């Protein structure tokens, strides 16, 4: 098992009445994100005056003695495994990599399969043990290929995560769709929530979380079978799970090769999911430099485009 040393605090008068999760976030913001600290509380890893505290909303009082123990992470989640991925940029603070299709970024509940996280720890051993998801700033769906930002220490991880939370990161995707939207460019604003029947999926629902996708059709491909496939460029304003796939499926234009939101995988499975995280822009937290990266479309995308008219 991978575990870190515990942290001890005595609450000073300036923090009297502050929420427990806010106090921990203030005290450990350079090392851990607030969401990670909230998980510590939920998992019973935080005690106040010797008693386990499981409510982040609990108020701390001046003189309280706090102990926080980072969550225990299953060993296999952080076992180094050689995984082939390209590193486009690397310095002592962060890296930008090309995530392969078909590989989960990190383990899900009960997941024992090898993920990109294992490969990151193999490539950068110092990440091991730095929280439950060391280096992970954001994620791409398992079948999605493209640019992924990796933090190489906790302080940078938190600062980069804040840029995503504050929507200061530019993300552009390329996708091929099974049908062409009625409007060749526009904005999809449909709230998303976990599907109540198929828990793997996200569905549009009024009680879901706000989600905004901007798109522009760049090419329309009329096939010999009467289809109107298309290529779209997409900008994400929010970054919900499966957002692009769920939004375009909702308007009747699922992504080509999507085995979850359409039946096209049977016909186009050899190409995989044709969704690429093609462009990423952000501010380097340590240098203040504006960073920008782009990927060309992979061979499988070009092969599909060359053969699309026959479908």
C-alpha span between 237 and 9 (Å, rounded) = 38
Distance of CA 177 to the CA centre of its chain: 22
pLDDT band at 145 (very low <50, low <70, confident <90, very high): very high
Residue 305, pLDDT score = 95
CATH of domain 75-165: 3.30.2350.10
Instruction: Give the residue-averaged pLDDT of 249-274.
Output: 92
Report pLDDT digits (tens) over 284-311. 999 999 999 999 999 999 999 999 998 8
CB 21 within 8 A of CB 41: yes
CB 179 within 8 A of CB 253: yes
The percent of residues in the chain predicted with pLDDT above 70, rounded, is 93
* Domain 170-310 fold: Pseudouridine synthase (3.30.2350)
Instruction: Give the residue-averaged pLDDT of 195-214.
Output: 92
For the chain, list the strands marked E by DSSP. Answer: 7-10, 46-48, 51-52, 65-68, 86-90, 94-99, 145-151, 170-177, 185-189, 192-194, 202-204, 212-222, 228-236, 275-283, 290-294
Residue 3, pLDDT score = 46
Distance of CA 165 to the CA centre of its chain: 11
Which residue spans of the chain are classified as CATH 3.30.2350.10?
75-165, 170-310
Pick from 50, 79, 61: which is nearest to 20 by CA?
61
Residue 72, pLDDT score = 65
Give me the phi and psi of 253, to 5 degrees please.
Answer: -130, 65
pLDDT of residue 192 exceeding 50, the answer is yes
CATH of domain 7-68: 3.10.290.10
Whole-number mean pLDDT of the chain? 90
Report pLDDT digits (tens) over 90-136. 999 999 999 999 999 987 655 568 899 999 999 999 998 777 788 99
* Gap between the terminal Cα atoms of the chain: 51
C-alpha span between 83 and 199 (Å, rounded) = 29
Residue 271, pLDDT score = 95
Residue 265, pLDDT score = 77
Distance of CA 103 to the CA centre of its chain: 13
Instruction: Give the residue-averaged pLDDT of 137-160.
Output: 92
Burial (CB count within 10 angstroms: exposed 0-12, middle 13-18, buried 19+), residue 68: buried
Burial (CB count within 10 angstroms: exposed 0-12, middle 13-18, buried 19+), residue 182: exposed
Higher pLDDT, 107 or 272: 272
Element (H, E) at 97: strand 94-99
C-alpha span between 29 and 22 (Å, rounded) = 10
- Which among 21, 141, 153, 258 is annotated as catalytic? 141
Which residue spans of the chain are classified as CATH 3.10.290.10?
7-68
Q: Which 8-state DSSP code applies to residue 126?
A: G
Query: In this predicted structure, which of 4-8, 51-55, 155-159, 213-217 has the lowest mean pLDDT?
Result: 4-8
Pick from 156, 150, 177: which is nearest to 255 by CA?
177
C-alpha span between 68 and 72 (Å, rounded) = 12
Instruction: Give the residue-averaged pLDDT of 132-155.
Output: 91
Question: Is residue 299 flagged as an active site residue?
Answer: no
Query: In this predicted structure, which of 4-18, 51-65, 256-270 has the lowest mean pLDDT?
Result: 4-18
Angle of helix 20-28 relative to helix 34-42, nearest 10 degrees, comes to 130
């Amino acid at each position: 098992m991978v575990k870190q040393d515990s942290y001890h605090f005595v609450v000073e008068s300036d923090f009297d009445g502050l929420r427990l999760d806010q106090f921990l976030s203030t005290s450990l913001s350079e090392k851990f994100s607030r969401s990670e600290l909230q998980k510590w509380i939920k998992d019973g890893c935080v005690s106040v005056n010797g008693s386990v505290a499981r409510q982040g909303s609990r108020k701390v009082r001046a003189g309280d003695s706090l102990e926080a123990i980072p969550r225990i992470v299953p060993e296999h989640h952080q076992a180094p495994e050689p995984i082939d991925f390209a590193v486009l940029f690397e310095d002592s603070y962060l890296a930008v990599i090309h995530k392969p299709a078909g590989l989960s970024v990190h383990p899900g509940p009960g997941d024992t399969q090898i993920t990109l996280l294992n490969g990151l720890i193999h490539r950068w051993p110092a990440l091991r043990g730095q929280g439950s998801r060391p280096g992970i700033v954001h994620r791409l769906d398992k079948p999605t290929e493209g640019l992924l930002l990796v933090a190489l220490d906790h302080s940078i991880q938190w600062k980069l995560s804040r840029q995503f939370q504050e929507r200061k990161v530019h993300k552009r995707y390329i996708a091929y769709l099974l049908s062409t939207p009625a409007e060749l460019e526009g904005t999809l604003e449909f709230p998303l929530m976990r599907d109540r029947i198929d828990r793997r999926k996200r569905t549009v629902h009024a009680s879901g979380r706000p989600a905004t996708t901007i798109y522009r059709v760049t090419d329309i491909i009329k096939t010999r079978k009467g289809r109107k496939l298309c290529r779209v460029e997409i900008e994400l304003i929010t970054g919900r799970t499966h957002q692009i796939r769920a939004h375009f499926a909702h308007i009747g234009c699922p992504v080509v090769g999507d085995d979850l939101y359409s039946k096209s995988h049977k016909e186009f499975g050899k190409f995989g999911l044709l969704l690429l995280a093609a462009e990423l822009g952000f501010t380097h937290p340590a240098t203040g430099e504006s960073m920008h990266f782009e990927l060309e479309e992979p061979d499988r995308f070009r092969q599909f485009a060359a053969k699309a008219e026959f479908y």
